[in-house]
């Protein structure tokens, strides 16, 4: 097999492109499939960027990963869903960011953030195959709360008519992370200011039942923690 036809699954890495190669802090970038998938699998909110009438638009929405495909949920009347429904699809840039800590240094200039992020470029297409749509919708529910799709009523035809999903194949994608401590300048070492890292994490509280709910708390919500189940 030639290098031109080698897949990311076989090499363990996505191909580097000018759009996925940072110009600053290149040592923080990664094209490793496993690392990129791990970041995507512990987040379920993304920002979807596209262009409408020559102007950039960025929308926060939910997503899920299934193998090398990202599925993004939306209304059939939304602009990105309408654009992705055309034959040529919709050029998009999708980003995901997880904040792991606030980095405080003795100088204001050197403050930073520990983070894990993914940026994916590509052409999004609307999902029209019924079987794939069912898979995508279940993945979107289970990515936020693993096990939930099997424990709720599926969408009926009327609801499905109002719901659309777009697919973005992971091809042009990279991760960037920072997981370091405070980087104080040597000349600031004796300044009387605290420096260090304040860890940051998403924490869920105890589930609060609806007044009309008589079902016992399901097992998948016991000790529920952030992060969707890998698909």
Q: Give how far the C-alpha of residue 119 lies from the chain's centroid of Cα atoms, to the nearest Å.
A: 9
**pLDDT tens, position by position, 126-167:** 999 999 999 999 999 999 999 999 999 999 999 988 888 999
Give the per-residue pLDDT at 211: 94
Give the per-residue pLDDT at 3: 44
Domains of the chain: total: 1
Give the per-residue pLDDT at 205: 87
Give the per-residue pLDDT at 227: 58
Residue 90: inside a domain: yes
Residue 220: inside a domain: no
What is the rounded CA–CA span in Å between residue 166 and residue 74?
8
Give the per-residue pLDDT at 1: 37
Residue 144: inside a domain: yes
Give the list of residues 6+ apart from residue 27 with CB closer than 8 angstroms, or none: none
Give the per-residue pLDDT at 87: 81
Residue 126: inside a domain: yes
Give the per-residue pLDDT at 10: 66
**What stretches of the chain show up as alpha helix (H) in DSSP?**
8-11, 33-41, 79-84, 130-144, 157-161
Closest to 16 measured CA to CA, from 28, 29, 25: 29
- By CB neighbour count within 10 A (0-12 exposed, 13-18 middle, 19+ buried), where does 5 fall? exposed
Closest to 229 measured CA to CA, from 140, 113, 136, 105: 140
Residue 7: inside a domain: no
CATH number where 47 lies: 2.30.110.10
Give the per-residue pLDDT at 173: 97
Beta bridge partners of 96: 118
Residue 119: inside a domain: yes
Rounded alpha-carbon distances, angstroms, from residue 227 to 38, 120, 123, 125 = 10, 20, 26, 26
Structural domain of residue 41, as residue ranges? 17-183
Give the per-residue pLDDT at 22: 86
Beta bridge partners of 113: 102
Residue 51: inside a domain: yes
Residue 179: inside a domain: yes
* Low pLDDT (below 50) residues in the chain: 1-6, 228-231
- Does residue 83 contact residue 123 with C-beta atoms inside 8 Å? no
């Amino acid at each position: 097999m030639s290098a031109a036809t080698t897949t990311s699954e076989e090499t363990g890495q996505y191909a580097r492109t000018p759009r996925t190669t940072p110009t600053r802090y290149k040592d923080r970038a990664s094209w490793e499939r496993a690392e990129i998938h791990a970041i995507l699998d512990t987040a379920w909110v993304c920002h979807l960027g596209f262009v409408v009438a020559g102007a950039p638009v960025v929308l926060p929405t939910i997503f899920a990963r299934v193998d090398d495909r990202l599925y993004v949920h939306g209304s059939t009347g939304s602009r990105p869903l309408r654009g992705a429904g055309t034959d040529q699809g919709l050029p998009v840039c999708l980003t995901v960011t997880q904040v792991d800590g606030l980095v405080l240094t003795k100088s204001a200039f050197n403050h930073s953030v520990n983070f894990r992020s993914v940026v994916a470029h590509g052409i999004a297409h609307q999902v029209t195959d019924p079987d794939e749509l069912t898979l995508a919708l279940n993945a979107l529910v289970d990515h936020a709360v693993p096990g939930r799709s099997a424990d709720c009523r599926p969408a009926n035809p009327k609801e499905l008519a109002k719901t659309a999903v777009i697919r973005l194949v992971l091809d042009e994608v990279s991760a960037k992370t920072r997981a370091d401590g405070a980087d104080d300048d040597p000349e600031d070492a004796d300044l009387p200011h605290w420096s260090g890292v304040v860890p940051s994490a998403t924490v869920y509280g105890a589930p609060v039942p609806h007044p009309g709910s008589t079902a016992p708390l399901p097992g998948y919500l016991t000790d529920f923690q952030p992060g969707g189940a890998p698909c």
